[in-house]
């Protein structure tokens, strides 16, 4: 599921709304920046987003810091979910994550695609002020009043930090701020009304047998990866297990990032209930169903991919190689003493050259 890289790489440098600072008093923003160069960074970065120059904007991001942040969070999750992992196994997983899911090129591509999809072009903006990021050493926040071309207000928090003599945009600061001050771990809260309505509409179409229409509700990324026929096969397998859905209930809503929600839905069939997961992404001001998972993930590590296999999806968030050592091979039986040499046999004209085959 493209869930943490996401969830792992889903953190944007410029996130609409920013995290809600409910757990403690919000930082006090002052008009003066920590240094003139910090204000110059923000004043350079925002026009690049507004004019659609996303590659130039990406170059002003601290991608190394973001990559390390995502790696640390992923390893932390793995240790919590798999306490039996050894230090060596975690080191091996870290190496694989850095080469595959969190390779610099992949992370750049993810953030660039998200910038392109986030409707920044044409925004106007005003810097409200700066403040140190709570509980994040060396991190600062820039509070920005933005307005869309349609005139809708869009308040923004932008993380920045100084590396050496250079100030850079730090998307990990906003992500970590939300993780620390909103709630420990992943935030659980009632879903927005429009998300609940979309969940109801999705399963109502299942109940009515309108699976094509249910498929069309899902996001473009999901439909690009899962063709209609594959979705219909999954739906057929799901209905074969539980029967036609008769009712459904949202049992969990998780804020994975400011723009991603994970929704747990228990679906009651004509025979048995079954849990499912739906992912919603906020695009502009609208929550869109991004995908649906009908089979719950297991906690056991999956076997490693065969050599030469293609790279995983850039949105993959769960790397679980099988790092448990293979059983020791059974010692081979001692070789039997060589048999005494037989007397030479004359070679027959039509016979094979060499010893006779058994």
Task: Please give the mean pLDDT across all residues of the chain.
Answer: 75
pLDDT of residue 295: 67
With a pLDDT cut of 70, the percent of the chain lying above it is 71
Q: Is the pLDDT of residue 199 over 90?
A: yes
pLDDT tens-digit series, residues 79-130: 888 888 899 999 999 999 999 888 999 889 888 887 887 778 888 989 989 9
Of 162-166, 183-187, 281-285, minimum mean pLDDT range: 183-187
Instruction: Give the residue, 309 or 127, on which the prediction is more confident.
Output: 127
Question: Cα-atom radius of gyration of the chain, to the nearest Å?
Answer: 28
Name, of 12-21, 60-69, 145-154, the range with top average pLDDT: 60-69
pLDDT of 313-348, one tens digit each?
Answer: 333 333 333 444 444 444 444 444 444 444 443 433
Q: Does residue 45 contact residue 57 with C-beta atoms inside 8 Å?
A: yes
User: Can you tell me the distance from the alpha carbon of 183 to that of 179, in angstroms, rounded to the nearest whole number?
Assistant: 6
Highest mean pLDDT: which range of 87-96, 237-246, 292-301, 336-345: 87-96
Neighbour tally for 204: CB within 10 Å: 14
Task: Quote the pLDDT of residue 176.
Answer: 81
Cβ(322)–Cβ(306) under 8 Å? no
The predicted model scores a pTM of 0.48
């Amino acid at each position: 599921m493209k869930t943490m890289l996401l969830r792992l790489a889903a953190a944007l440098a410029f996130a609409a709304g920013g995290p809600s600072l409910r757990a403690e008093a919000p930082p006090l923003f002052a008009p003066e920046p920590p240094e003139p160069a910090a204000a110059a960074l923000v004043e350079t970065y925002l026009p690049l987003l507004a004019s659609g120059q996303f590659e130039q904007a990406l170059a002003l991001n601290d991608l190394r810091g973001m990559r390390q942040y995502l790696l640390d969070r992923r390893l932390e999750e793995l240790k919590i979910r798999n306490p039996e992992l050894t230090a060596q196994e975690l080191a091996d997983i870290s190496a694989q994550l850095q080469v595959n899911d969190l390779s610099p090129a992949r992370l750049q591509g993810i953030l660039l695609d998200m910038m392109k999809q986030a409707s920044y072009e044409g925004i106007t903006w005003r810097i409200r002020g700066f403040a140190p990021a709570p509980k994040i050493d060396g991190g600062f926040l820039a509070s920005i009043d933005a307005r869309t071309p349609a005139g809708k207000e869009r308040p923004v928090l932008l993380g920045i930090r100084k590396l050496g003599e250079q100030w850079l945009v730090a998307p990990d600061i906003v992500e970590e701020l939300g993780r620390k001050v909103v709630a420990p771990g992943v935030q659980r809260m009632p879903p927005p009304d429009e998300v609940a309505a979309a969940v109801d509409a999705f399963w109502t179409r299942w109940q009515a047998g309108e699976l094509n229409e249910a498929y069309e509700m899902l996001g473009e990324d999901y439909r690009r990866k899962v063709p209609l026929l594959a979705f219909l096969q999954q739906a057929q397998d799901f209905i074969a297990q539980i029967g036609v859905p008769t009712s459904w209930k949202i049992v969990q809503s998780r804020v994975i990032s400011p723009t991603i929600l994970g929704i747990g839905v228990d679906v009651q069939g004509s025979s048995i209930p079954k849990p499912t997961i739906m992912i919603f992404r906020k695009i502009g001001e609208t929550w869109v169903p991004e995908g649906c998972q009908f089979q719950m993930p297991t906690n056991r590590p999956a076997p490693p991919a065969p050599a030469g296999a293609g790279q995983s999806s850039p949105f993959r968030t769960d790397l679980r190689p099988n790092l448990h050592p293979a059983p020791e091979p059974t010692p081979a039986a001692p070789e039997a003493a060589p048999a005494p040499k037989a007397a030479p046999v004359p070679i027959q004209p039509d016979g094979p050259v060499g010893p006779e085959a058994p």
